[in-house]
Each structure stands twice: as C-alpha cells, then as structure tokens.
Chains A and B, each alone.
Chain A
Amino acid sequence: MKSFYLKRIVSMLITIILITTLTFTMMHSIPGGPFTRERPVPPEIMRALNAKYNLDDPLPIQYLNYMKGLVTFDLGPSYSKIGTSVNDLIISGFPASAKIGLIASALIVVLGIPLGVISALKQNSPLDYFVMFLATIGITVPSFVIATVIIYFFAGKLGWIPSFGLNTPASYIGPVVALAGYSLSFVTRLTRSSMLEVLRQDYIVTARANGIKEFTVIMKHAVRNALIPVVTYIGPMIAAILTGSFVIEKIFAIPGIGRHFVESVSNRDYTTIMGITVFYAVFYLIMIFLVDVAYALIDPRIKLKGDK
C-alpha cells in the first residue's frame, strides 16, 4: 500500500516538474518579449524593464530562478499589473472560484447521482425520459450559452438574480447553474447507465432471491457498485470546477482566477499565464491523487493491485 502512494507521489512530482518546464519553455520561446507592444518601446526603457524582471539573464539561469521561486511558492511578478505578484492574483481570485466551484460540485453530487439512480430504476418511464432529455440538453448546450441565457432571462427580463458579481446569495445561482450544467448532466447519464448495468448482474438477482428488502438491494448492493465509475469521473471534475471556469467567470464578472487567466491571455502577461497554469496543474494533480487514495480505499480490487 505504501509503495503505491510513494509511486504516485513521485510520478506526481515528475509531472509537475515537466509541466513547469514545458510551460516555461513555451512562454520563453514566443518571439518578442513580454513588453513588446505595437508601438515600439524605447530601447532604454526596454533595457530597464528587462533588467528589472531579470529577463537579460541567460535562459537556464532564468529557469533555475523560476524553479527556485516555485519551490518557495513564489510565482513571480505580474508583467501587466504593475506592483502585483502572481501570488497576489491567485490569492485574491481563488476564494471566489472555490466558493462557486464547491457549491457546483455539491449540486452535481447531491442532484446528479440520485437523478441517475431514479431514472435507472424507472427505466423507460416518462420520468426517465424527462430526466434524460434534460441531461442531453445539458451536455449539448455549451456552458457559455447557458450562462448568457440565464443572464438574459433571469437577470435581465425577470430581474430575479443579479447579473454580475457575488454580492448576494441569489447571485450565486447563475454561475453555479452554468458551471454545474454539463457535469451534472454527465454524472446523471453516467450513473444511470452504470446503474442499469449493475441491476442486470447476477448478485442483484441473488440478493433479491434471498429476500432482502428492495430498498437494501438498491442502496447497499446496486448503488454502491454503480458509483465506482462515477467516482472516477467526479474526482478530476471537482478539481476542474474548483479552479474555476474561465468563461463563466468572464460572463458573470466574478473576480476569480479564471478571469485573471483570461485577462492574462489577452494581455500576454506571461508570468501570470505561467503561474496560473502551474497552479491549476498542481491543484488538479493533488485532487486526482486524493481521489485515487479514496478510490483505493473504496474498491478492494484496486487495493490489491497497489500491493503487488
């Protein structure tokens, strides 16, 4: 068991190093520096800027410095927002992203799994068709369309919820629904199909034949086994949702990390792009690792594999 975790941690570290190296190389191989503007900057100013941000060092030195900063959790200064560091941006943005992300993830788990189970149990009933219809829409309509429709109808025409910011409880509704839409539908569909698969298994028939109450059969034998593929999907999904969706934050004008990222992309603010990418990737990897740990605890088959 221990060697399993150790292996995972080592491969995680290697992945992080590779990601940062790749990101660093990509950002530094872009022709022109981060201060190249349409109007040429006077050479003296360019030199001063380069000296200030240590951009005139040879590339390997810059790389080592960046990695050194990374170990001490310092992602460097932002190039376009003078006086703020990438750390500041992430610290200021993460709470908002995480709050919406947490609510959306909770919604997905609390709503998606029961809906999937119910529609599998009532297969081919009107309820099943209705849920699957909604789930199909949720999968096919892009989140930015859902978000704009919410803004147009519920914020604009009906005025029930504010159209931007996160100042009142009602203002969470829009971003959370738009953020959860796709994953909620996906989880519902996944739970349903996996539940249908499990319900056909012999051990369910055996359990019923043994006279176990239907409720116990469903909850203890069917749902538990049906959830295994769902858990696999939910892990990385929570990581992706928690770190914020760029588009949702842009549309609802939420000061989260996603918005900083989109802004940094359009400003060509390379340190911020790099910093947020690394932050995302590390967060994502840690979440996947945690899910793997939880997963190994839930599913005995995986535990065995790890021991070998």
Chain B
Amino acid sequence: MSKDKFVFIEQTGEDNEAIRPSLTYWQDAWRRLKKNKLSMMGIAVVILIILFGTIGPSFTEFSYSDQINEYKNLPPILDMYELDGRYFHVSNDYNVFLVAEDGTIMERLNLDPLKRDMINKIYTYELGEEEVILDFSYNLLPNKMGYDYDYTLELDGEVAKYAALTKLNKLNPFGTDSLGRDLLTRVMYGARISLLVAFVATMVNLFIGVVYGSIAGYEGGRVDNIMMRIVDIINSIPLVLYVILLMVWFRGGGLTNIIIALSSVYWVSMARLVRGQMLSLKEQEFVLAAEVMGVSKSKIIFRHLIPNAMGPIIVSIAMMIPSAVFTESFLSFIGLGVSAPMASWGTLANNALSGLTTYPYQLFFPALAIAFTMLAFNFIGDGLRDALDPRLRKG
C-alpha cells in the first residue's frame, strides 16, 4: 500500500478535553470527601481544636497551674451592680469584686472577719476608706422571704438591688476554678493532653493492629488460628475493665501510663479488620505475581498488601481517635487520669462535679470541648468511610 493513501488526521485539542484527568485512588477519595460538608466542618473543627491546644496557651496570661486564690470560682459572665459610678460583682461564695466597666476584674474587696455578720447575713467589705455592705439575707432568713432579688449592695447609703450590667469576664473568659486557676488556659492544656493521648494511643494501636492482623491473615492456617484465638480472648474481656486494671497496676495516673494502657488493649478490633482484608487480598493475582517473582513475605505484606487495605484502616482510625478521647476522659473522671496540676478534659469535668450546682460553667466548657471533638471526629469518620469505600455508603 502506498503512503499517499494515508492521510494524517489533524489533531485538535477537543478530543483530549473530553477525557477527565485520571485520578489516583486517594485523589478520588479526597474529591468525594470535599463534597461532604459535615466532614469538612469536622476537619475544620479538629484543626481549630489542635490550634487551640498548641498555640492557644501562648495567648493567655496564665499558665495551667497558676493559682490566684483571690480570684477563685469566678464565672465567665459577670453580673455587675452599679454603685457611685463603679461596678461590683458578687460571686456565689459571697466575695465582692471591683470590676471595670468592660468586665475586667480589678480587685477583690477585703472582708474583715470581724465585720462578718453570719447571723443577719450581712458582710461589710473595705474599699479603700469606704465600706461596701453586702446583705444576702433575702430569701434565706425566714422573715425575709418572697423577694425577687437575693442580695443588695450598699455604698455610702446608695443601695443596688439589681444587676445593672452583664458583661463577659475579660480576664478569665471561661471563668476560674475552685483554686483560682484560669479555666480557658486549663481547657487549652486539656486539649493538648486529651488529643496527645488519643493520637499516640491510636498510632500505637494502628501499628500493632495492622502488623498483627496482616501477619495472621497472610500466614493463615495454624498461625492465624492461634493468633486469632488470642485476639478472641482479649476481645471477650470488657476492655474498659482491663484499662482500669492496667492503670491500677501502673499505680495510677501519668500520661505515659494512660497511653500504654490504652494502646495495649485497643488494638484488637484493628487486628480483626486488617486480617479480614488480608484474607481476601492475598487471593488476588498481584500477590501471586509477587510470590512467583520471589518477593519476601515481609515485603509482600508491607509493600503490597497493607497499602491496598489502607482505606478501611483509615476509616477505623478516624473512629478510634474519639473513642480514645472518650476513654481517657472516662479514666480521668474516675480518678485514674493525669496527675494534678496537669489536667485533661476528663479531669476538669471531674473537678467540676463537686461544685456543680453553684458553678455549672466549670463543667460546661470541658464537656463542650469533649462533645465537639467527638462530633468532629465522628463526622470525619463517616465522610471518610463514604469517600474511601463507596460500597458502604449509607442511604
């Protein structure tokens, strides 16, 4: 056939444009994940919480262990009474504070023990040369019931019955705890500890679980049988119980101990998951090809099998982190957490319990932090599952 029978087709750009750029598995998953608004919100919240915990403390004037005994149990929202152009706040434990108009606490008024009239429930405080009289007998003494206010403040004959202003506490935006420590700073440090425990424990679980599971799954036979019986036994023990036992064994708290306790117990579910993946993956041709070429077992596991099982593993990690946060706060809550003055969210919540009815805000912020973190990780986990494994997509 002669050459002139062939004509070159003129190349146009149009044909190429119609073809979508080829995406790798991860690019595709990321594309799907980006479409999931809740997951993106979750990622944003997690990043915010990490920033909150890492660089947050450098923006506050306090350290997590600074105790200012004068400023204990201060709420995040101050009710301010106006007297003679100055503002006063009466705390729930009957301390009177001089407050600037913008909500910054200036000083605590000194209370002379001799001027503390417990029977009539009238305290007299010193403000320089002047005297501020707090009468909190209303609705407490039998002959003074039925008032719609609980206390009055008196300065130079001027009496304030109702709060004139309600301002956010400038100095301690989250309030202070029963030892006068700034709660905002403590919640920030709590984020550090809670997240550190969660991440490290999850990473250790990931490592043990993945290696254990893939060896069991790939080897199969007797090895698999024995390894999985061990997992079954660990799995049939209530895990929280064993974490508590381990914590007792380690003699109580300490960051490292919590991490060790959490990571020595929680890897079993990961091991099961990975083993299941291995069982189906190892039957595929690419493994056979690798075996035929004489690739070593460990290389097959780490280079060929594990990367292919990464999807479900990542989903499982995203679900594991909140459960580690949860378990850590639970352990701290029953008194096996980090030791004072360090604090995790669980310890903060536990400390707040005793004064709950009077100072509910002390529980509110750590509880909110835990709930937000759990929510964010749950959303991320749901989104990752949908993105990485479309077969499992719900609804």
Contact = CB atoms under 8 A, between A and B. Distances in A.
B367 interface: yes
Given A139-B378, A196-B395, A247-B334, A285 B371 contact: no
Given A27-B249, A281-B237, A281-B238, A142 B334 contact: no
Given A26-B245, A273-B245, A273-B248, A246 B334 contact: yes
B370 interface: yes
Chain B interface size range: 35 or more
A265 B326 contact: no
Contacts of A250: 334
B305 interface: no
Interface in B157-189: none
A27 B246 CA distance: 9
B311 interface: no
Contacts of B238: 239-240, 243, 280-281, 284
A124 B394 CA distance: 12
B367 A142 contact: yes
A139 B370 contact: no
A265 B330 CA distance: 14
A11 interface: yes
B371 A247 contact: no
B251 A30 contact: yes
Interface residues of A, number: 49
A30 B330 contact: no
Contact of A136 (B363, B370, B378): B378
A17 B375 CA distance: 39
Contact of B241 (A14, A123, A266, A277): A277
A156 interface: yes
A148 interface: yes
For A144, A196, A288, which residue has the most chain B Cβ atoms within 10 angstroms?
A144
A15 B326 contact: no
Interface string A29-43: 111000000000000
B356 A140 contact: no
A23 B233 CA distance: 14
A19 B237 contact: yes
8 contacts: A15-B233, A26-B245, A26-B246, A144-B333, A145-B371, A251-B353, A262-B335, A285-B236
Interface of B: 229, 232-233, 236-238, 241, 244-249, 251, 322, 326, 329-330, 333-336, 349, 352-353, 356-357, 360, 363, 367, 370-371, 374-375, 378, 394-395
